[in-house]
Structure 1
Amino acid sequence: MQNSQEQIEICQKYSSEIVEPDDGEMIAIALETIGQLPIRGIRTFKQDGDNISWFFYCGDFSDAPDFFKPMHLSHLNEYLPEVMKYLCLEPGYKFIVDPYGFEDVWKET
C-alpha cells in the first residue's frame, strides 16, 4: 500500500511516526455496525503470529465473540473509506471521527 499525502499529514498532525501497513495485513471490522456513528479505529501492536493491525467499529462496542470479522486490508475502502487517511498512524493510536467534522486522535500510553 502506498501512503497518501493525507495519511502523511495525519501522522504529522498527531506526532506519529509514519507506519505503513504491509500489503498482506489483515484488519478486524464490526460489519454489523457500519452506518452507525461515531467511527472508531484502534491500531494494535501485533503479537507473534498475529497479522491484524487495526480494529474498526461504529457506534457502540460489543464484547460478543463474533463482533469483529477479519478481512484483508485491501477491502477496507469498500466498507469504511473515511478511515483510510488514518492507516499510517503508528501502533497504539486510536481515533474517533464522524462525518460532521469531529476528529479525536490520540496515542494510548
Structure 2
Amino acid sequence: MISKRSNGEFQFVLKAGNGEPILSSEGYKAKPSCINGIESVRTNSQNDARYERKTSSSERPYFVLKAANGEIVGTSELYSSNGALEKGVASVRLNAPTAAVDDPTA
C-alpha cells in the first residue's frame, strides 16, 4: 500500500496475507521513486543475501531488505524472537512478488 506522509513524502508498506504490515519503506520525495522501491522489494525479496538481520537498541530482532547496491529498501517491525523474525522474512518472500499495489494517493 502506498501512502503519503504529512511531510509530503510517499511510503509503501508490504502486508502479509492477514493484513499485518511486514515491511515498510523509507520516505520518497517522488511517487515514481516509491514505485521503483516496490519493484526493488519484489526483485530482492527472493535473495536471502539481501536480508540483514539486526538487533534494536531494546534487544529486539528485526531485519532490513537491501537492494543489490546495498541501499535499504524496507525495514521490518520489531520481533519478539529470532524465530518470529525468520517467519517475517518468509512472509516477505511469499508475499512480495505478487502483492497488489493499493494506491489511495492516485
Does the pair score TM above 0.5? no
TM-score (norm 2): 0.28
TM-score (norm 1): 0.28
Q: Which structure's residues are more often helix, by fraction? A: 2
